[in-house]
Structures are given as structure tokens and as C-alpha cells.
Chain A
Amino acid sequence: MNYYVLPGIGIHGGIKVGFQFAQLLSEAGAPIAVATPGGLAPSWFRCGQPVVDRQNILANAGPSDTLVFSLPHDYPMLKATGARLIFHCQGTDPLIDPVLHDRDVTILSCWEQAARYARTVAGREAIDVGISIPDIFFYDGAAKDPCLVAFMPRRGATIAERAMKHVRHLRYVPIDNDTEEVCAATMKRSGFFLATAVGEWFGLPALEAMAAGCVVVSVPVVAMEHLRDGDTACVVEPARLPTVLDDISGEGAGLRRAALRDRGAAMASRYRTALHRRKLESAMRAGLKDALSWN
């Protein structure tokens, strides 16, 4: 049996990405459940994955099982079970280095920068399994308010506050502790999205906002796979974000805004779940299938 072991079910991108990956594995026929504390399921996004108690799995998993994980802190505990391990690399903090050096652990990468990191640090070729945006985020023609700016205050609130003070012709709507449905609906009716989380590994919310038809103004992230300054988004250092937002929201910037929206939407479409499913098929052929348990 396969278990995707997670540390919690709170509102964090890594939790959703873990469930999403487990769901795709399940659709591919792999027997898999998600192990969470207390066997609790998240209620802030949609999925259909079964959940089991993490503690129970840690106590009972053995060599016939495969444990998938993304948090390096879990590595010693999971290693001690004797189960086969798969590391679903969602970030490249040096804390993951011991995991990458363990040749018994299969390494999966969600994006190119993570694959490069595994290659550089440990000489390992990660299996590319990709990442995707739930279909609910894709713009469906909902009425948009071109002066509405969505942002997530949980990380980078001060950056957003500076923008609010500096750019007063726009209105701001926080997305905070909301379900995925509310988040998607807010993005779909907003003209802009401010991505203010400094040090983000991938920047999934910015990509979701591109899918929702927002002009994205973002601080840099580590992966920088979908954030291309002047092409799919405005990528700026935090200090300059208010100025750039003021500029791109100005009367004379209509064509630039339309171009950013179009190219952002095109970029987001590369992260459709249907494409992700196909990528996973390739990953299965590239070794993922052998790393999973099929009992």
C-alpha cells in the first residue's frame, strides 16, 4: 500500500499539492491513501482522497509499503519504518540534502529548479512529476472588476499594505483563511493579484491567479518557472511593488495589461490537470511505477 504522509491539513500549498498528487496516483491505479494527524481530511479544497491516521501508519508501515513525503523533517521517522520511501520534492531548502543523498529514496521533482537542485547537490536525476492548478481556477467569464486587487495577507502583508497606501485608485480584497472555492471566485472577479510571499518556492497562488485572468504583480520566487517579468507577470522586488502596480494599473497601460493577462493565461494552461495526468504517465514509465507498492 502507498501512503502520502503529511504533517497536517492546514492551508498550505504543500498540503494541497500532496493531496493532488495522491489523487493522480490513485487515478493511475495505485492504491494510495493520505496519512494525516488523526486521520483528518482537509475541508478547504476539493479532492477525493481517502485519509488515514498518520500515527497508525508510522507504527505499522513496513517493507511492503511505500511512503511518499515532502517535508524533510519527516525523513528520519519514515526511514525508521523500513518502508520504501519516495520524496516528493516541493522545495529546495538545504534541509532536504540528506534525503537527496539517500540512494534508497526515489526523488520526484515538481518543477525544473528542484530537479536541478537534486542534480547539483547529490548527482541525482529526479523523476519529473509536475504540478497543476485545479480546474476551478480557470477563468470562466465571470464579471471582472478591473480595479479590484486580490492578495493573500498571510505572507507579505506589509508589502500589500504599502501598495494600498501608494496606489489609491484600486480596491483591495484579501484572500485569507478561505476555501479554494472562495479563493478562486475572488481571483476570477479581480483585475490584479499581488503575490507578496517572499521566499516562496514555486508560487502556486500567482499561477492560479494567471489562470483566473488576473494581471499578476509578484515578488520573486525560487523556481521562477511561470513568473516571467514583462511576459506573464510583473516580477519586482518588494520595495518596488507599489510603484509597478501603480504603473501597470494606469490608464495608459491597457495594452500591456491585456498582454500580461493573455500570456499569463497561456502559461497557466500548461498546468492543467489533464496535462499533469499525462506527465504522470511518463513519470510512471520513468521509474515511478517501480517505486510504488501495488499490493
Chain B
Amino acid sequence: MRPVAVAAFAQTTHTGHDTGLAEAELILPIIRSVREQSGLQEFGFTCSGSCDYLAGAPFSFVSALDAVGAWPPIQESHVEMDAAFALYEAWVRLQHGDLDSALVYGFGKSSMGDLREIMTLQLDPYYLAPLGLDQLSYAGLQGSAVSSDVKKIARRSWESAQTNEFALRLPEPVETAPITDGAAAIVLVAGDLLRERTNLAYINGIAHRIDPHYPGMRDLALSASAAAAATAAGVGKGHVDVAELHVQFAHEETILVKALGLGAGTDINPSGGPLAANPVMATGLIRIGEAARRVMDGTAARAVAHATSGPCLQQNLVAVLSRES
């Protein structure tokens, strides 16, 4: 595949409450930041991820275009998914060879509604949603299917987050990702733009897969789609120094570590992970950003990022990043 690298990453200082900023105001500073970091004012392709249900209105991505400053008109698309999947779409678009840069961003304000109940609407509307299981309930189903030291995972994540200036300042460890408002942006470069830059995190592999929707159709103690995505992305081809995993519930880390084949030598969620800040729709993109940041600052030679969507880790994306193309 054509070499593509992360050239810039920015995220908001996440909050556990509504600060009065609209979504466009939330992303404006971080888009300005990745423009400065990358030295690029315009991008060949732009792709974002957001969810209308967080704001309770259609087209939440429309006003975000104001923050991008899409004038003259830009080549742009949007996924109603975590922005990690928007990054995947941008990576695919850069494979065509005619464009050399892409802006990717995601944002979400979970503070505006009841996230746990909103997530119920993600279930099969005929057979599952009427049962009224909220997000915590179906995560609990999966949690009871796996043996996991959730207290240890929660404590380690909380301790790691103490040095993450963007994470929430939680008074104590939590096993459930906190309600968070926030956003993130990444710039991808390819072609000639790679040669002009030295501090890059190359995407060596990236893939995603989905599992059947119904929890009863899956072995909830495992994640077949995460394992398949990890294989396709080439996680096992070398040592993994750092892994940033989209762990919204502590037990999911145990499932993902196994699915991705990560060993004791891998530092899991050194940023604190989603248990320290979970701006829904940007959380997965932040995993890629955090993994890239560690490659770029030299603390990791090879890093893995993971993003998820759907109930009980139904859909999983895995990316491998390193300094080498």
C-alpha cells in the first residue's frame, strides 16, 4: 500500500460537563492546532465522525464545517461512526495516489443527554431495543462472561492519566468510561509531503471488522472481529511497545489484549485511555493520535491503536504505527 503517516494530532482538554461551547467551537482550536503542527492550511480530503444522537438533532456534522472553514468548497465526507473510522476512510482515499493530505476530526458532547440510554437505540429496534437494556447493562453481560481484574485495570488507567493533561481529573479510579465532552483531530500525509517532514508516525497497517449484532450470536469472552482486524493490520509482525485501546469498560481491556495478542512487554493505555476521558465519537481517533504521539516523541518504536463501535465490542478497528514506512 502507499505509505501514509500521521503528521499532526490535537485534542481538547476534555471535560466531564458542558462548558457552554457548541461543537463547532470545540473543534475550531484543535483544527487550528493541527494546521500549525502540520504546516498545512488546506487538505486534499477531509473526513469526520460524529453522532447526531449525542446532540439530539440531525446533521451535527453540518455546523462543524464552519470550524473547518470549508471555503472554497472542499472534498469532504462524514461517517456516523467514531472518527477512527473516518481516518480509515481518509487513509483509503490517500491510497488513490492523487491526493497527499487529509484532515480527520471527531467530536462529541455526551453531557447533553443520557448517554447510557441513548446507546440503547443502537440495538436492533425490533427485538433488542424494546428490552430496554442500557449501555451499562449490556456491558455488564459481557463483563460477566470474562474473567478480568477490573480493579487493577481501573487503577493503572487512573494512575497513568495523572500525567495526561487532556484527561479528566477524576478523584478515584473508575471501571466505566466517564461522561466526557471533547474532540480530536489528526492530519495524515502521503507522497511528497512525507519527504518534507521528519517527525512522522507511519501507518504500517490498518483494518476493521464487524461481528454479528446479537450478543447471543457471539462468544462474549472473545472478540473475533478485533482478532481478525489485528491480523489484517499486522499487529503480530513485531514487538508492540505501546497499545492504546478503546476500553470503555475495564473488562474490555482483558478481551482486547487477548484478541490483539499483546504480551507483557506492551504498555497498555499509557494515556489513561477512555477510562480517563471518553469524548464519544473522538475516543477511538484519540487512541490513534496517542499511539502516533508516542511514536513521534520516541517513547515507542512500534505502537498499536484500537477503536470500537457497537454493543459489546461488536466492531473493531486496529492500526499499527511506527517510524518506518
A and B interact: no
Query: Which residue numbers of B lie inside 8 Å of A, CB to CB?
Result: none
